[in-house]
Amino acid sequence: MLNALDSKIPKVLVVDHNEMMCRRAVGFLNAAGFWAESVLNAKSALRYIETKSVDVVLLDVDMPVIDGYEACQRIRASEKGASLPIMMLTKRDDAAAIDMAFDAGATDFATKPVNWPVLPHRLRNMLRTSEVVEALDKSRSSLDAAQRITGLGSWEYNMVSGELIWSDNLYRIIGLEPQSCDSTLSLFMKYVVDKDRSTVYKWLSSDSVEPGKMLKQQILTEDGEERYVRIQLKNELDGDGMVVRKWGVVHDVTEQYQAEKKIHLLAYYDSLTRLPNRVLFCERLARDIAIARRTPKEIAVLFLDLDNFKRVNDSLGHAYGDLLLQEVGERLQSCAQEINDAYQLEEGPCTVARMGGDEFTVLLTGLYDRSEVIKFATAITNELSDVYVLDGNDCHTSSSIGISYYPEHGDSVDELLKAADIAMYEAKKRGKGCYQTYSLAMDANSIRRYKMEELLRAAIDNDELVLHYQPQLNLETGKLESVEALVRWNSAELGFVSPGDFIPLAEDTGLIVPIGEWVLRAACFQAVEWIATGVPLERIAVNISVLEFIRPDFLSIVGEIVAESGLDPLRLELEITESVLVDDTSSAVDTLRALKGMGFQLSIDDFGTGFSSLSQLKHFPIDRLKIDQSFVQGMLENVHDSAIVRAVLAMADSMGLSAIAEGVETSEQLEFLYSHECDEAQGYFLSRPVPGAAISALFAEFNQVEIRNTGTGD
Ligand code: C2E
Ligand code: CA
Ligand code: CA
């Protein structure tokens, strides 16, 4: 910059009303290496400056009309003249005259008569200074712009003079107007959050900070906004190794920090429940295992699964499912909080996580003993079985919990989770809503279960499912009139698997839906065939799982299958369980009415074991109650059972429902039922469930009728 000045000829504008004076000045300056021109008044000077290029102005104070002071002010006010070096020529050199010149905006002044040999040097000097100022100004403003863009503020501390300088953007970062107040260390400290203040102070004022070291800090700006900054510090040493100057940058990394936090949240937390996710849970468990290896202690892992989540999700929709999961997450978290409060640890012994779906895990580290774990599991079980009010609807769920312990059941994350998972399935098997601690014996069972699921998926395609039929006796006519279809799985690999074992598995995995469709279709086609061959079949009953019943497409699927088979809908009976009636009654009523409207018969299976009250029943369009076999089998010995059977029969009669007793194994039982006017009976005493091929012979023999034998059936 400065060299450029030497390489080009500086242009001087001489402003003086005295023509003689002008000529002299121009001549002298041109001879001294300038490019000079002159004008005779302020107006011409302003025009000249606006239209031509000028590097410096030599301005006489004494001019008529507009004097030099006013001319100087006007030049300063103009766009091009704002930072133009102006040397004023005055007759006086008293303090008042000098003040007036500078007040008007002069850069320098000289007295008249002019000392011509000195003037060129003073002009050059003035030009140089102005170049430097301009360059500094430029670099400062581009530095400030750069600092603004990058969110950087810089500071410089002179240890000798005690002077501390902040860049404009450092003021902005802490929420102040640039250079609006004195920059001091104590002022900066005011914005550092309380807990970190002494660390930061020590760090900044210490002589021995390693160069390039960084501190990440939270600050509270003047407006109370939370921001995150990185402070970097460098020391400048003198020859004796003493710190003479410190300087550094303050980097506003709030956006970056928030982005990192968001990424962390996405990576480590479940977005629905805001609980830690599988990744974070596994990391914490791994960390606790590593610690427990050094300082031995027991760790408990709880694996929790909701018992009927699928049902809520399928029947009420995913939005409700989500609400339920959120509520479960909150309840778990508050149980965990209680433990954490009791142990008074910041990151307590208890971490709750959502593994996905309706599976949650809890990590308990360093509890006094296992009884506390059990107490906790019990507390969760109770808490989660309380009614949920989701968007105004009551909803129930329960949870099954499996528990495993480090080091007894495994010494890795995978082993402990797997053991807890296996224990959870055992808990489910034992009846829902309970917990179970892992034991070695469970392993074999669970392998069987996983294997079974795999095979069951293929069972339909492999033609491994068959239906057996159990006849039902009409006690009034003394004839077999109906059958119940009962599915059987003849697995090529596992052999015969009873429905008691695979139906619950099918329900857990959703396989019940295709299996149920298969059963319905097979039963309808079979019934049509029997009727066509003269079997006096009044009705065929098919079991419907609640998971099928609540599906939105259930009605259309049943309708299609029945239509396809050609079976008269009046001859199809759908057996549902009481649990269908307990929750969410309004849509259950709608579905039942629709089914009734389509002509089907409806019965309540296992009646008496569920929660439905007799009075509740009148709201449902039911045809028949199937008295659960446990009551039938106990009714002759147990007064309680017999009371129930009689009450159900009396009630069914008064409500115009028909009643059928299941599980009739003896003639005495049959006699009792007959004498209490039960309508129908089913059980081993009459016949076990038999393959389809055996039915027509059974009906023929029992009913003493002749039926054409076509040799069809299984
Ligand atoms: P359920 O609907 O209560 O069926 C009656 C069960 O009791 C049948 O067992 C039957 O064989 C058995 N049983 C019949 N009479 C007697 C008796 O006199 N004494 C004794 N002790 N038991 C008797 P099964 O076939 O093992 O079926 C068990 C359960 O599996 C059924 O109970 C039903 O809930 C379910 N299930 C069977 N087939 C299907 C199906 O196609 N779909 C659905 N969703 N569930 C089915
Ligand atoms: Ca049944
Ligand atoms: Ca039953």
Confidence of residue 711 (pLDDT cuts 50, 70, 90): very low
Kindly state whether residue 710 falls inside one of the protein's structural domains.
no
Tell me: the pLDDT tens digits for 267-303? 899 999 999 999 999 999 999 999 999 888 899 999 9
Which of 406, 439, 472 corresponds to the end of one domain? 439
Residue 592 has pLDDT above 50, yes or no: yes
Secondary structure (3-state) at 273: coil
Residue 145 belongs to domain with CATH number: 3.30.450.20
Kindly state whether residue 132 falls inside one of the protein's structural domains.
no
The enclosing H or E element of 580 equals helix 579-582
109 and 24 both lie in a single domain: yes
Determine which residue's CA is closest to atom 43 belonging to ligand 1.
Answer: 543
Residue 140 has pLDDT above 80, yes or no: no
Higher model confidence: residue 256 or residue 280?
280
579 and 490 both lie in a single domain: yes
Instruction: Quote the CA–CA distance of 521 and 519 in Å, as a whole number.
Output: 6
Distance of CA 57 to the CA centre of its chain: 70
Which of 77, 98, 126 corresponds to the end of one domain? 126
Instruction: Quote the CA–CA distance of 255 and 636 in Å, as a whole number.
Output: 78
Amino acid code (one letter) for 352: V
Instruction: Quote the CA–CA distance of 275 and 281 in Å, as a whole number.
Output: 10
Residue 271, CB half-sphere, CA atoms under 13 Å: how many?
Answer: 4
Confidence of residue 579 (pLDDT cuts 50, 70, 90): confident
Neighbours of 381 (CB within 10 A): 19
Kindly state whether residue 134 falls inside one of the protein's structural domains.
no
Kindly state whether residue 69 falls inside one of the protein's structural domains.
yes
Confidence of residue 585 (pLDDT cuts 50, 70, 90): low
Burial degree of 423 (CB within 10 A; 0-12, 13-18, 19+): buried
Higher model confidence: residue 341 or residue 377?
377
237 and 281 both lie in a single domain: no
Domain with 404, as residue range(s), is 269-439
Q: How far is CA 209 from CA 205, 237, 413, in A?
A: 9, 12, 42
Lowest mean pLDDT among 187-191, 581-585, 640-644: 581-585
Burial degree of 269 (CB within 10 A; 0-12, 13-18, 19+): middle
Identify each DSSP E strand in 289-407 by its residue range: 299-306, 350-356, 359-365, 388-390, 393-395, 399-406
Instruction: Give the Cα-Cα-Cα angle 290, 295, 301 (nearest 5 degrees).
Output: 55
Write down the pLDDT at residue 615. Answer: 67
DSSP character at residue 274? -
Confidence of residue 95 (pLDDT cuts 50, 70, 90): confident
Residue 86 belongs to domain with CATH number: 3.40.50.2300
Residue 90 has pLDDT above 60, yes or no: yes
Write down the pLDDT at residue 297. Answer: 86
Write down the pLDDT at residue 663. Answer: 97
Q: Are the CB atoms for 555 and 517 separated by under 8 Å?
A: no
Instruction: Quote the CA–CA distance of 674 and 16 in Å, as a whole number.
Output: 138
Kindly state whether residue 638 falls inside one of the protein's structural domains.
no
Secondary structure (3-state) at 169: helix
Kindly state whether residue 621 falls inside one of the protein's structural domains.
yes
Write down the pLDDT at residue 714. Answer: 43
Q: Are the CB atoms for 67 and 61 separated by under 8 Å?
A: yes
Write down the pLDDT at residue 583. Answer: 59
Determine which residue's CA is closest to atom 41 belonging to ligand 1.
Answer: 487
293 and 428 both lie in a single domain: yes
Higher model confidence: residue 135 or residue 459?
459
Determine which residue's CA is closest to atom 20 belonging to ligand 1.
Answer: 663
Burial degree of 182 (CB within 10 A; 0-12, 13-18, 19+): exposed
Residue 372 beta carbon below 6 angstroms from any ligand 1 atom: no
Lowest mean pLDDT among 31-45, 296-310, 437-451, 595-609: 437-451
Secondary structure (3-state) at 108: strand
Write down the pLDDT at residue 448. Answer: 75
Determine which residue's CA is closest to atom 45 belonging to ligand 1.
Answer: 543
306 and 351 both lie in a single domain: yes
Instruction: Quote the CA–CA distance of 275 and 360 in Å, as a whole number.
Output: 10
Write down the pLDDT at residue 622. Answer: 94
Residue 706, CB half-sphere, CA atoms under 13 Å: how many?
Answer: 1
Higher model confidence: residue 523 or residue 221?
523
Distance 257 CA to ligand 2 centre (A): 61
Q: How far is CA 345 from CA 280, 297, 363, 405, in A?
A: 19, 16, 14, 21
Ligand number, closest to the Cα atom of 670: 1
Burial degree of 41 (CB within 10 A; 0-12, 13-18, 19+): middle
Average pLDDT over residues 263-269: 87
SS (H, E, C) 669-682: HHHHHHHCCCCEEC
Confidence of residue 1 (pLDDT cuts 50, 70, 90): very low
489 and 416 both lie in a single domain: no
Residue 635 has pLDDT above 60, yes or no: yes
Write down the pLDDT at residue 504. Answer: 86
Kindly state whether residue 365 falls inside one of the protein's structural domains.
yes
Tell me: the pLDDT tens digits for 52-79? 989 999 999 988 889 999 999 999 888 8
* Cis ω before 689 (30° cut-off from 0): no
Average pLDDT over residues 448-464: 88
502 and 558 both lie in a single domain: yes
Average pLDDT over residues 211-238: 80
Residue 525 belongs to domain with CATH number: 3.20.20.450
* Cis ω before 120 (30° cut-off from 0): no
What does the block give as tokens for 596? Answer: 């009734």
Distance 689 CA to ligand 1 centre (A): 9
Instruction: Quote the CA–CA distance of 81 and 99 in Å, as a whole number.
Output: 20
Higher model confidence: residue 312 or residue 640?
640
Distance 651 CA to ligand 1 centre (A): 25
Higher model confidence: residue 618 or residue 584?
618
198 and 278 both lie in a single domain: no
Average pLDDT over residues 323-348: 85
For residue 512, which atom of ligand 1 is closest to its CA? 44
Average pLDDT over residues 236-263: 82
Lowest mean pLDDT among 211-220, 417-426, 446-455: 211-220
Burial degree of 611 (CB within 10 A; 0-12, 13-18, 19+): exposed
Query: Mean pLDDT for the chain?
Result: 88
Kindly state whether residue 642 falls inside one of the protein's structural domains.
no
Neighbours of 412 (CB within 10 A): 12
Which of 219, 235, 260 corresponds to the end of one domain? 260
Of 13, 87, 23, 22, residue with least CA distance to 55? 13
Residue with tokens 């008295």: 627
Residue 684 beta carbon below 6 angstroms from any ligand 1 atom: yes
Residue 243 has pLDDT above 90, yes or no: no
What does the block give as tokens for 16? Answer: 């003086």
Cα torsion through 188, 194, 198, 203, rounded to 10: -50
Residue 584 has pLDDT above 70, yes or no: no
Confidence of residue 712 (pLDDT cuts 50, 70, 90): very low
96 and 231 both lie in a single domain: no
Question: How many structural domains compose the chain?
Answer: 4
The enclosing H or E element of 140 equals helix 119-150
249 and 310 both lie in a single domain: no
475 and 611 both lie in a single domain: yes
For residue 506, which atom of ligand 1 is closest to its CA? 44
Residues contacting residue 311 through CB under 8 Å, at least 6 positions apart = 546, 547, 550, 583
Residue 385 belongs to domain with CATH number: 3.30.70.270
Residue 154 has pLDDT above 90, yes or no: no
Q: Are the CB atoms for 692 and 469 separated by under 8 Å?
A: yes
- Choose which residue among 470, 473, 486, 631 to substitute to test ligand 1 binding: the one with the highest number of ligand atoms within 8 A of its C-beta: 486
Residue 2 has pLDDT above 50, yes or no: no
**Parallel/antiparallel/unpaired status of strands 495-497 and 479-491:** antiparallel
Tell me: the pLDDT tens digits for 666-694? 999 999 999 999 999 999 999 999 999 99
Ligand number, closest to the Cα atom of 485: 1
Q: What are phi and psi of 471, to 5 degrees?
A: -70, 155
Q: What radius of gyration do the chain's Cα atoms show?
A: 47
254 and 273 both lie in a single domain: no
Tell me: the pLDDT tens digits for 157-213? 887 777 888 888 899 998 999 888 888 888 888 898 888 888 888 877 776 655 556
Percent of the chain with pLDDT over 70: 94
Instruction: Quote the CA–CA distance of 657 and 325 in Å, as a whole number.
Output: 40
Instruction: Quote the CA–CA distance of 100 and 114 in Å, as a whole number.
Output: 19
Average pLDDT over residues 149-160: 81
Please list the residues that pair with 442 across neighbouring strands.
none
Residue 516 has pLDDT above 70, yes or no: yes
Residues contacting residue 177 through CB under 8 Å, at least 6 positions apart = 171
Average pLDDT over residues 244-265: 84
Write down the pLDDT at residue 83. Answer: 82
Residue 486 beta carbon below 6 angstroms from any ligand 1 atom: yes
For residue 685, which atom of ligand 1 is closest to its CA? 18
Neighbours of 577 (CB within 10 A): 20
